[in-house]
Structure 1
């Protein structure tokens, strides 16, 4: 993948020059990502791995379009399909624009810009937030919003009413005192010349204690200096700081060394804790800045080519650090487990130490500890040459650092030096923004399967205060897309339910998918019902669709077909209908092939032979049309599929005994072949096979 320049635009004029990175990229010949925004068509960015470009404007920036330029050579490297996403925290990303080469003519000439690619008009509601999303009953909250200045009417439900009068230049806020006494969904409605726009948020009311804030000010001090710990807590009967009872809402601490503090709030319903760290910076004293305990090898490997764990040492002080005699350890009972050899680390310098267990400590060479890190959590510390003084640690007080996911690093971030995860690991460079942890996965009260009667479906997450959005049409939900879950869902027809849970400061869950098959719907499915009930399109790029069950099959087996269907293992694909049947959908364009005609999907197996669901599975993967001549609509409207299991979607393999125990149970790809020459579309067939 390559391009010479990438420009963001407002009213056709270039907007600023963002910093840009290319996580995981392979940039030969110095053709680095910064060259994509250097203002010159004579330079270019090239990435052999086709990784993302990440643009950072440093603050909120308004754009309404963008364009990019072809580079000097190799037209086959030109972008032909891409997704543009936006984020305000580098953790949760929302879709802004998606393009394929069919949307416009990619310039074939070199050093040539694309036409301006206009973004959809900004919604009238640009943001709608609350200062406290998790509260005790009645605690005051403040709702804030930013809307298009052209908005002519603005109101909030739940009795708040019109708020145009407290909005200036599109920005406004209102305090609710007392706050809600039960979990409440607030919806703001903006009336605009282009129509109405809405946004929602949830304020969750809990009977547990709530630690709204726990801060250290300042978070970085010198030896013997003090930091003030402050907190805002609701609905707590008692508070403890590192196991000692405290009162009030602040406490000053004088520190000789870096320390992590734990605040515990307790009432009759349970205990809630929050941590904050204070870093004591001594001249010439380094710290552990970041580590990865589950290295997937995508960013860095050691000198042997192994994807060993790594620990990043950083010198934040204003003096050169003498590393000789410092220790790294993963055992709180053995603080001198591995010693640094002779060496120094300059001011603001970084050093990568491999936690590989290979035990190499030759000065000037790659350093390897005599231990590796546990992805399931353990202790990690950097210790001064006296073998006693801990400079920095993860897993204080006998605890372990939390579970670590593959390719995700952990360390300190933010002014408060909170310990958390980095979605974008930065070995050897400044840390990116982070998040404190993960939202607990969504749970469905009813598992996928075959059904005849309607039922109520509940979706939940064990993360207190988390919001859930879901879809029932195959679309992928996000924190800004989908239906906000406020109570049980009535499932009375065939539908895929896809859900995501999210909470500010935490990484959202993945999208979970559960498909519920109603056999009556399958038997009576027709082109009419699929268009009226499931809203599928009325044509496939000019070809009339065929969505229905073959009526001759249904009539021939009318007496038993419903019971028969409930005994047959079923495969379910859930994805946005436009990706399958839309103008750029793969089914509507079956002659198109290659990576540009691959789409994301969810695959489920529903096996009724095990009513407990133990033989069911769900996996996210890619999907393409498969085949040769029978891709053509004039030969058949039924197409074969090829499924590809890639890291871009989730697991890199399907691990399941699809064909029993006598053959492999791991698959890189699957082909669902519709048996063209033995298929239902031929008249008078007696040996019909179905895929």
Structure 2
């Protein structure tokens, strides 16, 4: 009986020790869902050579934390939690004041940093849960996401959240934008025209500044300012976007205007920023590269035969 009593006492002591150790770890470490990317087209190539959604966890504490045994989910209300495997502590340990990337790619067979779900670019919530399967450590709710733009905390671990046009997977966040400017309305239809064509644009939100280009390049804050209809006398690719105070620039609107050009067959028009082709370091026309890293975004327009 004495031996059985000692065994029970020892078991209780071990449980108490484990709980105390975990409690001390959480006292000295604060974990945050710090940054996410839900539309990774060409922004970040992971170690396996893939461009997948990713989630960054930040450890603001003074000691390393192994998150094996914690749970992560994008379906908290549905109760679908993923337990981070304990098979490789070196891959699931976050150093003090450090970061850990987890890949939301649905490919758990690739290792403990790969998750069974993908992120919805329309918006959802990512939740980090303690090993007890109940306590929420941190969460990050986000709205609609944009191609190669990340979303997260400003600064790391902060309560302010926003968009980053320069994502920093596995590193400290930059200063971002709390909101995104609304896409302008390009009112003049693209297509084939005889004689001059007047291109009219309307801001979706009063106070936004519209900037446009006619050479195929993406509009930036120093591009021509739209102040009224633009007259075109020859074929141009018209690109326009909104710029608001303290806002990330809007997605770009693109229309191609074919002026005084006849065609007897349907036309498929592809346009892209010339930098994507001719930049000395990254242009795909002047460099010999292959694979996903050498793909570039294009705008596609189709015109029926007149």
Q: 1:651 to 1:306 in 2, by over 3 A?
A: closer
Map 1:102-501 onto structure 2 (within 5 A). 283-296=28-41, 299-303=44-48, 305-335=49-79, 337-342=81-86, 343=89, 344-359=93-108, 366-395=112-141, 401-414=142-155, 417-452=159-194, 457-470=199-212, 477-482=219-224, 484-486=225-227, 488-489=228-229, 491=231, 493-494=233-234, 496=236, 497-501=238-242
Match of 2:263 in 1: 568
Cα pair distance change 1:358/1:616, threshold 3 Å: closer
> What are the residue-to-residue correspondences of 1:61-76 with 2, within 5 Å?
none
Aligned pair count reads 261
Give yes or no for contact 1:454–1:490 (8 Å, CA) kept in 2: no
What is the TM-score of this pair, normalised by structure 2? 0.66
Secondary structure of 1:391's match?
Answer: strand
State the 1:491 CA deviation.
Answer: 3.1
Q: Pick from 276, 279, 297: which aligns with 1:651?
A: 297
1:321 Cα deviation from its structure 2 partner: 3.2
Question: C-alpha displacement at 1:329, in angstroms?
Answer: 0.3
CA–CA distance in structure 2, aligned partners of residues 657 and 449 of structure 1: 7
- Residue 380 of structure 1, CA deviation: 1.1
Shift of residue 373, structure 1, vs aligned partner: 2.0
CA distance in 2, matches of 1:298, 1:460: 30
| Superimposed CA distance per residue, residues 472-508 of structure 1 (whole angstroms, 9 cap, x where no aligned partner) | 68786532231x333x326374463443321133332
Q: Distance in 2 between matches of 1:459 and 1:654?
A: 20
> Cα–Cα, structure 1 residues 656 and 495, in superposed 2: closer, same or farther, change >3 Å?
closer
Encode CA deviations 1:203-242: one digit per residue, 9 max, x unaligned. xxxxxxxxxxxxxxxxxxxxxxxxxxxxxxxxxxxxxxxx
Cα distance in 2 for residues equivalent to 1:472 and 1:353: 41
Change (3 A) 1:383 1:451: same
> Conserved in 2, the CA contact under 8 Å of 1:443 and 1:459?
yes
Equivalent-residue separation in structure 1 for 2:259 and 2:103 (angstroms): 54
CA contact (8 A) 1:360 1:367 kept: no
Query: Contact between 1:619 and 1:654, CA under 8 Å: does it hold in 2?
Result: yes
Contact 1:302 1:308 in 2 (8 A): no
Alignment of 1:611-650 (within 5 A): 617=269, 619-622=271-274, 650=296
Q: Helix, strand or coil for the counterpart of 1:379?
A: strand
Whether the 8 Å contact between 2:270 and 2:299 is mirrored in structure 1 is no
Distance 1:319 1:408 in 2: 31
Q: Between the two structures, name the one with larger relative contact order (CA 8 Å, sep ≥ 6).
A: 2
Say if 2:180 and 2:250, in contact at 8 Å, map to a contact too. yes
CA RMSD in angstroms comes to 4.1
1:447-596 aligned at under 5 Å gives the runs: 447-452=189-194, 457-470=199-212, 477-482=219-224, 484-486=225-227, 488-489=228-229, 491=231, 493-494=233-234, 496=236, 497-509=238-250, 512-514=253-255, 516=257, 519=260, 567-568=262-263
| Offset of residue 359 of structure 1 | 3.2
| C-alpha contact 2:268 2:302 (8 A) present in aligned 1 | no
Judge conservation of contact 2:70–2:83 (CA < 8 Å) in 1: yes
Q: Is residue 211–residue 240 contact of structure 2 (8 Å, CA) maintained in 1?
A: yes
Q: Secondary structure at the match of 2:115?
A: coil
Per the alignment, in what secondary structure is the counterpart of residue 124 of structure 2? Answer: coil
1:308-336 CA-partner distances (Å, limit 9, x unpaired): 33222111123443534321001021456
Alpha-carbon distance, 1:422 to partner:
2.1
Q: How big is the shift at 1:294? A: 3.0
Distance, in Å, in 2 between the alignment partners of 1:373 and 1:324 is 21
Secondary structure at the counterpart of residue 122 of structure 2: coil
Q: What is the TM-score normalised by the length of structure 1?
A: 0.32
**Distance in 2 separating the partners of 1:403 and 1:298:** 17
Mind listing any 5+ residue stretches in structure 1 that lack a counterpart? 1-280, 396-400, 520-564, 570-606, 610-614, 625-641, 659-691
